[in-house]
Amino acid sequence: MEGTIWLCMDCQEEFYEPHDKCPDCGENMSPDAKVPAGAIYGVYQIRTTCQRCGQPMPLNGPLREVDCKACGNTSHFPPEQWKSLLEDLVEEYDEFGWSDSRGSTLMSGASTFKNTYGRQVPHCPDCHKVLPAFDIPVGDNRDLTCRKCGMLVPTSPAPEWLVEVLPSARQLYGAEREAGSAPTGSVEAEVSEAARPVVMQCPQCGGALKVTVESDRLVPCEYCNVDVYLPDDVWRRLHPVKTTDRWMIRFEGNPRRLRDEKTPEDEDTEGDDLSPGSTPARWLVPLLLAMAALAAGLFFLFFANNSR
């Protein structure tokens, strides 16, 4: 098929026709491991800080609300911020080889985001093996099993609010789901150790205080009515510190067409991007060249007239 790319699952080299064995590394190649024409696969690793206490906060998926593991406060990340964070990859996609990545810093609203992004097919966040994700229909909401380490990696359709601001976004891999969007019939992933209630003694009266993941950092004692500030070890047990994980998105369409999705009002929000590595807009280059040529022409005419 025109534009299809076959990918070696081992060395991630790409080929424009199928091979039994990878011409590059010699491993067996699967005829299914083909990147559909026009599909754009991006990987992201994004962290920011809690909007209240400033502690590091990983954004392991496009999430509009994240609870701080340190102070319990909820930080908010509106769709427009997500658009700014994710769209650079789509715009710069042609400049990336597989597995290339780039870092940027985005300051937007009260938050600063450290974003590392690149062109990468869905792979296991743990062992980096390519995931069997090419055949699954866009829209599936389930777990993929890594064929190397067995890790379950969630995949789900891009949430509607994200598609509204980034119409080419299709499917997520390895991304944390927003509350309430788990696949039906499945168990919420993080019901484990941390979810079990902890019982501690009230430092004031010695009464039993039962705290759960739902508890605020200040828990009222039902016996003596004193507000008890939960000690760090109890709080951390209930809210284990999270690492910043990689997650992936599939976008649809060819990059050039995606770039044209930008509406004039998008350009207004570009000022938010303080990324040191961000490239000037593509249209600027020909424009500057044209202006330089015009200036040179006028210059020449001026001197030609004067010397006469």
DSSP 10-27: TT--EESS--SB-TTT--
Q: Compute the distance between CA of residue 133 and CA of residue 144 in angstroms, rounded to an integer.
A: 8
Q: Compute the distance between CA of residue 41 and CA of residue 29 in angstroms, rounded to an integer.
A: 20
Task: Report H helices in 77-224.
Answer: 79-92, 160-165
Region near Zn ion per CB under 5 A, out of 36-44, 46-54, 168-176, 231-239: 46-54
- Minimum Å gap between C-beta 121 and Zn ion is 13
Is residue 8 a contact residue for Zn ion (CB under 5 A)? Answer: yes
Q: Compute the distance between CA of residue 36 and CA of residue 7 in angstroms, rounded to an integer.
A: 11
Place of tokens 């200036």: 295
Phi, psi angle pair for 181, to nearest 5°: -115, 20
DSSP 212-239: -TTS-SEEE-TTT-PEEEPPHHHHHHHS
8 Å CB contact between 234 and 211 = yes
Q: Compute the distance between CA of residue 104 and CA of residue 106 in angstroms, rounded to an integer.
A: 7
Binding characters for Zn ion, 84-123, by CB under 5 A (x = yes):
----------------------------------------
Q: Which is nearer to Zn ion, 153 or 169 (CB)?
A: 153
Phi, psi angle pair for 130, to nearest 5°: -65, 135
Binding to Zn ion in span 218-247, by CB under 5 A? 221, 223-224
- Minimum Å gap between C-beta 207 and Zn ion is 4
Q: Which is nearer to Zn ion, 75 or 171 (CB)?
A: 75
- Minimum Å gap between C-beta 9 and Zn ion is 8
Is residue 208 a contact residue for Zn ion (CB under 5 A)? Answer: no
Is residue 126 a contact residue for Zn ion (CB under 5 A)? Answer: yes
Q: Which is nearer to Zn ion, 71 or 238 (CB)?
A: 71
Region near Zn ion per CB under 5 A, out of 24-32, 101-109, 165-173, 186-194: 24-32
Question: Identity (one letter) of the amino acid at 174?
Answer: G
Is residue 207 a contact residue for Zn ion (CB under 5 A)? Answer: yes
Is residue 10 a contact residue for Zn ion (CB under 5 A)? Answer: yes
Region near Zn ion per CB under 5 A, out of 84-92, 108-116, 139-147, 288-296: 139-147
Place of tokens 């866009």: 138
Q: Which is nearer to Zn ion, 149 or 291 (CB)?
A: 149
Q: For the CA atoms of the chain, what is the radius of gyration?
A: 25
Q: Which is nearer to Zn ion, 75 or 115 (CB)?
A: 75
Is residue 148 a contact residue for Zn ion (CB under 5 A)? Answer: yes
Q: What are the residues binding Zn ion (CB under 5 A)?
A: 8, 10-11, 13, 22, 24-25, 50, 52-53, 55, 68, 70-71, 73, 124, 126-127, 129, 146, 148-149, 151, 202, 204-205, 207, 221, 223-224
